[in-house]
Amino acid sequence: MKIINDYLTIKEFESIIFDKNLIDLSDIVLNRVKESFSFLKEFSENKIIYGVNTGFGPMAQYRIKDEDRIQLQYNLIRSHSSGTGKPLSALFVKASILARLNTLAIGNSGVHPSVIYLMKELINRDITPLIFEHGGVGASGDLVQLAHLALVLIGEGEVFYKGERKSTKEVFILENLKPIEVEIREGLALMNGTSVMTGIGVVNLHFAYKLVDWSLKCSCAINEIVQAYDDHYSAELNDAKLHRGQQEVAKRMRKNLIDSGLIRKREDHLYYGDNKEDVFKEKIQEYYSLRCVPQIVGPILETIDNVATVLENEFNSANDNPIIDVKNQQVYHGGNFHGDYVSLEMDKLKIVITKLTMLAERQLNYLLNSKINEILPPFVNLGTLGFNFGMQGVQFTATSTTAENQMLSNPMYIHSIPNNNDNQDIVSMGTNAAVITARVIDNSFEVLAIELITIIQAIDCLEQKDSISSVTRKMYDDVRAIIPIFKKDQVMYPFIQQVKDYLINN
């Protein structure tokens, strides 16, 4: 049980989303939210406060009658529940709810405590509001996507429950839950914010770290296959360049390969002084995709770490408008709902994950091209050359998917389109950026799955399984439990999917 209190870390956030840890609300949070709600209710009397007694967006110049204030909030929720496209995954939605709950719990939003209580129940009971991919421009936050969350909180719309899509009303009856009764500004407070792009971003971050880990394991395995020298990932070489990410990647490679029986030391082969050849039989240095892994993956790792910092700051921030300041007895109008921080980080994330995919594709090509590696048959074909095809067919898939990632990595952050009668004249497109990044990440698991199958085939081709490192051996054994060594041609797509699932879930 995680008690929502003052600050939620990325690790705690992930434990709730991926480990299904239950949450509860501390008395500190409940009191803070109550105090904020009570202050706003009293403070808003005889004052003009956006979204409380005014219209929204460019309609803010119109005063709302006191008797219409509550209906105004319902109108906002219903009118903006207009998303289209595919439903967001349960992981994305759960993360979005948690991000919204956490920012409302700060006490700068003036909502009634019943709002965060019901959101807590949705998380703990695995009730997933129907929220669509398309709709948000990320300026007043994720207005459309968060409207679908708000729609469920008022007892309307649809949810996914125990594998089925059902009406919210039906599920609330089954679970004995009551919808919130909208008070002062629950509609606007729920919808104004960056919680969907942030929630999706945290899920993306989780899988991005997995991709880095698998990429390093694959890179280490290929270095073993070709019996590379160890100096390119040495501390001495990599510490000479003052980048933390590069040094960390090299350190992980050393740890992964510490007990390998295949990695060689340069001084044992090229520094002994007796070599008289004019043309060297052995490669003096490996191709960049093998030798420059610390320099390539280092900036990728540092970028992902920075994404983590930004996302943690975002879901621990008050990101709606206006901001209710109980301490100073004031209400401030501004633009904390703007999603540029998250949008930019999602674009950075998809760029570096695409680069990781490109590295995997080049390493795959190295293994498949016998003229380059000079130790393996074409396409790591363990059957009859010409009659069988080995990994030839799956290379097309890896190349195609990598190309798609390259196209998808064009930044969303700079594609602002004014809308809302030009009230929102510059927007972040943060939710689009997060959704596209998720697709890039999913694609990357497919490319790495193909690379990993090829690596395992190569190890068997060269009869190296008893000499590889313990880290590589575990990976080898796990994959061989999924796909047996094959010489004859076979349908590959079920194996690719199974290995992809293995990478995602381990």
Catalytic residues: 50
Give the C-alpha separation, 196 to 202, whole Å. 10
Torsion angle, alpha carbons of 284, 290, 293, 295, to 10 = 40
Tokens of 287: 């191709």
**Helix (H/G/I), strand (E/B), else coil: 104:** helix
Helices (H), 105-142: 113-124
- Going by C-alpha positions, the residue among 83, 352, 356 that lies closest to residue 196 is 83
- Going by C-alpha positions, the residue among 237, 249, 207, 153 that lies closest to residue 444 is 207
Q: How deeply is 19 buried, as exposed, middle or buried, from its count of CB atoms within 10 A (0-12, 13-18, 19+)?
A: exposed
Q: How deeply is 46 buried, as exposed, middle or buried, from its count of CB atoms within 10 A (0-12, 13-18, 19+)?
A: exposed
- End-to-end alpha carbon distance in the chain: 23
Amino acid residing at 416: S
Is there a contact between 222 and 453 (Cβ–Cβ < 8 Å)? no
Give the C-alpha separation, 68 to 183, whole Å. 11
- Going by C-alpha positions, the residue among 391, 380, 381 that lies closest to residue 496 is 391
Give the C-alpha separation, 454 to 392, whole Å. 10
**Helix (H/G/I), strand (E/B), else coil: 133:** strand
Give the C-alpha separation, 482 to 502, whole Å. 9
Is there a contact between 56 and 76 (Cβ–Cβ < 8 Å)? yes
What CA–CA distances, in Å, run from 456 to 382, 390, 475?
Answer: 12, 12, 9
